Amino acid sequence: MLQWRADCRASIRYNGSLFEYAGLRWVQTSFMQPQAHVFDRFLYNDTTHTYTIDRFLADLQSRYGGIDSVLLWPTYPNIGMDDRNQFDMIASLPGGLAKLRQLIDQLHERGVRVLWPLKPWDLGTRRSPDASRQTDSGHTTQMAALLDATGADGINGDTFNWVSEDYFTQSVARGRPIAIEPEGGGNAFGQKAELKGVHDGYVASDRALHDWLNYQTMSWGYWSYPPMPMVDRWKWFDTRHMTHVCDRWRRHRNVNLQAAWINGVGYETWENVWGLWNGISQRDGEAIRRLRTVMTFLGGGADGSSYLASPQFVPFVPAAMRPTEVPASYFPHPDPTLAARGDGFYSLINLGAEAAGDVLAVPFAPPEGSQAMNMDEDMVMVNAPRATATRFFDLFGGTELVPSSIHPVPAEVEGEGEGGGPTDLRVAVLQLRIERGGFGGVLVTSNSRGLIIEGDQIEDGVDVQFPWEAHPQRQHDAVLSVAGFHIDRYPVTCAQFATFLIEHRYIPRDATRFLLNWARSPSPGLREDLYTMPAGYEKKPATYVSLADARAYCAAYGKRLPRAWEWSLAGGHGVDGRAYPWGSQAGTEGEHFPVEHRGFAMPGPDDVDAHPAGRSPHGVFDLIGNVWQMTDVFEDEHTRAVLTRGGCNYVPQAENGFSSTWYFPQAKSLNEHNKYYIMDDAYERSGTLGFRCVQDAAAEDGSTPLTCWEKPNGGRKCV
C-alpha cells in the first residue's frame, strides 16, 4: 500500500496544494452531507410558496445531529421531460436564481456549505449559446455563472468518476476555488489489499484516471460493503481527501457508518431518493449524531490540527487484538512530536457479538514513572500513578477511561450500553395517494375488467400505491369496477384555454413560464395580462400549464383531472387488454401518433385531431405520443408527484445521436405511466405537458362509485 501510494503520487506529480486554499478548508470537516431534492416539502412549502431552511435543518438536527454540507438536487429525474437543460431547470425554480442566492446565504449563515449537481451526460437538451463543441455544451461556462450567481461552494459530478479540470481552474481564476465531488470518485481496496492488482494493474495502466486528484477534494464512496470494511483508496492517497460513504437504498446503515468511522471519512445522509423516502432509523440517527460530534472534534482542533487528516493514518492497525471482530485504525496527532509521545486516536468498530472486551494492545512511553495496560476478560486495566499515566478516553461514549488498579473500567466499543440499542423504526409508507378535484366529452362505462399499469421510472425502488393496494409497488394489476365518466375527446386545446382565460379572467399565482410559447402583453385597465397564442395553434394542446392551472381550468367547467385508471380505460385498455388505443400492436409513427423528434429543441405538438387512426374504441383521440397528460397526484410528507400518461413527441438527443438513458423515459402505451415530481408553478410548467378533463357520469348512466375496503386476510378490495 505504501508503494502504491508513492507510485500513484509520482505518476501525476501530486503535491496536494489544492488543500491549502483557505476557501476549501471546510471540506475536511464536511462529515455529514445529504442529497436533498429542492422540491422536498421540508425544504420548500408548496402552500406558502416559500423555502423553509429552518424547518429542513431542524428536522435533521433533531433526528441525527445536523449536517455540514448539502447537495441540492433540482433536476433528475425530471430532466428530459422537455428541452430544458440542467441550468434551465435550476433557473425555473421558484423565485429564480435570486431566491436561490437567498437560500444559500441562509444555509451559510447556519454553517452549511452547498453543492450543485453537474450532469456531464446532459448533451441532448437545449444548447447553450456558449457551447463551442459537442463535448462541452457550455457546461463549464454555465456552471461558473450559476456558482457566482448563487454563491454555492462546489459541484457534484453526477454518474462520473471525475469532471474536467476546467471547472476548478476557472474557479481559482475567479478567486473562488470550489470543491469538486464526483459521484463515482470513491474507491476502496480490502484490508489486505490485492497489491498486485492495485499496483501493477490500476496504477500502471490507468494513471490518467488519477489526474483528477490534483483538483478534486471530495468524492462519494460507492463501494461494496462487506462485513469487514475496506480501506478508502483516496483517504489513503491523501488523508485530507473527504469521501462520503453512500449506499442510498440501504435501510439499516450500520455497515456504512462503520466504513466511514474506521476510515475517518464522511457519510451521505441521503433519505429522499428520487422521491422515495428511505428514512434513517432512530438507532442509526443516534449513531450518526455521535459520529458527527466526535469526528468534528477530531477533525478540526482550535489550532487547526486534525487527527483525521493525519498523514500518519494507519488503517487496520496491528494493535487490534481481535482484528476480525474489533478492527481498528489509528490516527496519530498530525504534529510528529506529539504523535511520538503517543497522542493519537483509535477508531474501533465491533463486528463481533460481545459488547465489551479486550481490544487493543497499546504501546506508550510516559515521561516519567511506569505503567502497564492489561487486558483481563472484558476490562481494560491501566495500573499507574495518576500523575504519570497516559490518559484514555472513550470519545464515542463520552467518558474518560480512568486508570485504576482497584476499579477496572469496562471498555465499551459499541457505545450504546452493553450491546443494547433502540429498536429500529419501520420505514414510513413511501407514497400516499390524495384525493383531488378536475370537460364535455366521451362517456366511458365499465364493468369489472382487468387493468394493468406499470411505472416506467429509471431507478430501482417502488412506484406508487393505488387505493386497492396494501403497499407501494412498481406493477399494478387489478380487476376494478369503475364508475362511468365523461372524458374529453381531445386534450384541452389552446383555443379552449384562451376562452377560459377570457371567460373566467384567470390569473395564475405566479406567471413565470405560464403559456411560455404565447405572446404576453399588459392589459390597460385590467388586472390580468393578455395572452395571445401563436398563429395556427388553435387545435394544438395547451402546454406550459402547471398542475394548479390545469385544475383551475377543469374546475371552472365542473370537471377534474382523470384518475390514472380512467385514462387507461378511455384508451380501451379495459375492452380487450389492448396496450394501445388502436389495438395490441405498437402502431405506425406519423399515422397512429406523431413523429418523434430527437434533438436539442422541441418541435411543438401536433394538432389534437391530426391522427384519427390513433383513436380509442371509445372515440378518444390523441392519447399517445403528442404531449404528456396529467392524471393522479401522489404525495407523502416529503414529495409530490403527478402521474403522466401517453408520452410525447420529443426526446432530447445530441447531434451525434447520443441520448442519455437518464432522461425522463417515454411511456407510450395504455399500461405505462411516468412520475413527474412537482414543486410549484414555474418549475412544473413544461412544453410537453398538457391535460384533459373528466366529469363523473350521472347515476342514470348506470355507474357506481369506486369503493375500497380492507380484506380480513390482508390487502384491499375495490369495486
Q: How far is CA 671 from CA 114, 170, 683, in A?
A: 40, 48, 27
| Mean pLDDT value across residues 333-345 | 87
Q: What is the pLDDT of residue 585?
A: 95
Do residues 448 and 480 lie in contact, with contact meaning Cβ atoms separated by under 8 Å?
Answer: yes
Same domain, 550 and 586: yes
| Mean pLDDT value across residues 516-544 | 90
The domain boundary, picked from 426, 453, 479, lies at: 426
Q: What is the pLDDT of residue 162?
A: 83
On whether residue 24 sits in a domain, the answer given is yes
Answer yes or no: is pLDDT of 261 > 70: yes
Same domain, 27 and 47: yes
In the chain, helix, strand, coil percent, each to 5? 25, 20, 55
| Mean pLDDT value across residues 142-147 | 96
The better pLDDT of the pair 565, 471 is held by: 565
Least confident stretch, 7-11, 287-291, 368-372, 562-566: 368-372
Answer yes or no: is pLDDT of 644 > 90: yes
DSSP codes joined into one string, 584-608: SS---BTTTBPPPEEESS---PPPT
The better pLDDT of the pair 368, 105 is held by: 105
Least confident stretch, 242-246, 382-386, 473-477, 652-656: 382-386
> Residue 289: phi, psi to the nearest 5?
-60, -45
435: pLDDT confidence band, cut at 50, 70 and 90? very low
pLDDT tens-digit map of 371-391 = 334 333 333 333 333 444 467
Answer yes or no: is pLDDT of 567 > 60: yes
Q: What is the pLDDT of residue 227?
A: 81
Q: How far is CA 443 from CA 350, 567, 620, 703, in A?
A: 66, 12, 10, 11
Same domain, 410 and 436: no
Same domain, 549 and 686: yes
Q: What would the grid cell of residue 99 be?
A: 431566491
Same domain, 8 and 123: yes
Same domain, 209 and 302: no
- This prediction has a pTM of 0.85
**What is d(CA 719, CA 447) in angstroms, rounded to the nearest whole number?**
9
On whether residue 598 sits in a domain, the answer given is yes
Q: What percent of the chain has pLDDT over 70?
A: 79
Least confident stretch, 185-194, 600-609, 696-705: 185-194
Residue 77: asked if its preceding bond is cis (omega within 30°), the reply is: yes
Answer yes or no: is pLDDT of 193 > 70: no
| Mean pLDDT value across residues 246-267 | 93
Same domain, 404 and 446: no
**What is d(CA 665, CA 652) in angstroms, rounded to the nearest whole number?**
10
- Calculate the CA 542 to chain-centre distance: 31
The domain tally of the chain equals: 3
Same domain, 387 and 459: no
| Mean pLDDT value across residues 110-116 | 98
The single residue listed with the C-alpha cell 385508471 is 565
604: pLDDT confidence band, cut at 50, 70 and 90? very high
Same domain, 464 and 537: yes
571: pLDDT confidence band, cut at 50, 70 and 90? very high
Angle between helices 139-150 and 166-173 (to 10 degrees): 40
Do residues 400 and 256 lie in contact, with contact meaning Cβ atoms separated by under 8 Å?
Answer: no
Q: What is the pLDDT of residue 66?
A: 98
Q: What is the pLDDT of residue 701?
A: 54
Same domain, 412 and 441: no
Q: What is the pLDDT of residue 377?
A: 36
Answer yes or no: is pLDDT of 476 > 90: no
Same domain, 408 and 458: no
Same domain, 200 and 340: no
**What is d(CA 659, CA 125) in angstroms, rounded to the nearest whole number?**
9
pLDDT tens-digit map of 68-102 = 999 999 999 999 999 999 999 999 999 999 999 99
| Mean pLDDT value across residues 680-696 | 97
The better pLDDT of the pair 205, 505 is held by: 505
| Mean pLDDT value across residues 429-447 | 42
The single residue listed with the C-alpha cell 431518493 is 273
- Where residue 316 falls (left for φ over 0; alpha for ψ -120 to 50; beta otherwise) is left
| Mean pLDDT value across residues 313-339 | 87
| Mean pLDDT value across residues 658-680 | 94
The domain boundary, picked from 426, 445, 480, lies at: 426
402: pLDDT confidence band, cut at 50, 70 and 90? low
On whether residue 275 sits in a domain, the answer given is no
619: pLDDT confidence band, cut at 50, 70 and 90? very high
On whether residue 501 sits in a domain, the answer given is yes
706: pLDDT confidence band, cut at 50, 70 and 90? very low
Q: What is the pLDDT of residue 468?
A: 75
CATH of the domain at 559: 3.90.1580.10
Q: What is the pLDDT of residue 390?
A: 65
On whether residue 211 sits in a domain, the answer given is yes
| Mean pLDDT value across residues 574-594 | 93
3-class SS letters over 306-335 = CCCCCCCCECCCCCECCCCCCCEEEEECCC
CATH of the domain at 128: 3.20.20
The domain boundary, picked from 426, 446, 471, lies at: 426
| Mean pLDDT value across residues 33-46 | 98
Beta bridge partners of 114: 70
478: pLDDT confidence band, cut at 50, 70 and 90? confident
Do residues 704 and 568 lie in contact, with contact meaning Cβ atoms separated by under 8 Å?
Answer: no
326: pLDDT confidence band, cut at 50, 70 and 90? confident
On whether residue 234 sits in a domain, the answer given is yes
Answer yes or no: is pLDDT of 537 > 50: yes
Parent domain of 194: 2-246
On whether residue 278 sits in a domain, the answer given is no
On whether residue 258 sits in a domain, the answer given is no
Answer yes or no: is pLDDT of 250 > 80: yes
Q: What would the grid cell of residue 341 be?
A: 509521545
| Mean of pLDDT over the chain | 82
Answer yes or no: is pLDDT of 339 > 90: no
Find the DSSP H helices in 206-359.
233-237, 254-263, 282-299, 336-340
702: pLDDT confidence band, cut at 50, 70 and 90? very low
- Calculate the CA 464 to chain-centre distance: 17
The better pLDDT of the pair 435, 40 is held by: 40
